Amino acid sequence: LLRQGKAYRCYATSQELEEMREQARLEGRPPRYDGRWRDRDPSEAPAGVAPVIRLKTPHDGETVIEDAVQGRVAFPNKDIDDFVLLRSDGTPTFMLAVVVDDHDMGVTQIIRGDDHL
């Protein structure tokens, strides 16, 4: 995903992320990563900071899911966060691991909460 430009290294600190969450809370909007490392060159990274790997979600259009229970569900891409795929220690997050596991096991029907759509 990194080589294809579909993911990127994010060097935002925990303090920066907390400031983003607090600003969103004050503005009454959902917390979102602001994308500050989305298109920056990793050579600008602060020394000694291990990055997380984030998915580079599209900003335009919408993501459509054909759900067996709810039918067609569409999300504006501008509302989808660049979520973390790999933590700074290199371990995968649930969001990545579960998709890989489901794919490898041939899972075609998944029952989870709406928050996983």
Residue 1 lies in a domain: no
pLDDT given at position 4: 97
Residue 112 lies in a domain: no
pLDDT given at position 24: 94
For the chain, list residues with pLDDT below 50.
none
Q: How far apart are CA 63 and CA 74, in angstroms?
A: 6
Residue 116 lies in a domain: no
Average pLDDT score, the chain: 92
pLDDT given at position 116: 66
User: pTM for this one?
Assistant: 0.84
pLDDT given at position 33: 94
CATH number of the domain residue 95 falls in: 3.90.800.10
Residue 117 lies in a domain: no
pLDDT given at position 105: 94
Residue 98 lies in a domain: yes
pLDDT given at position 117: 67
Q: Which domain holds residue 58?
A: 7-106
Per-residue buried b or exposed e for 70-100, using 16+ beta carbons within 10 Å of the residue's own CB: eeeeeeeeeeeebebbbeeeeeeeeebeeee
When divided into structural domains, the chain yields a total of 1
Return the percentage of the chain with pLDDT > 70, whole number.
Answer: 97
* pLDDT per position as a tens digit, 80-91: 999 999 999 999
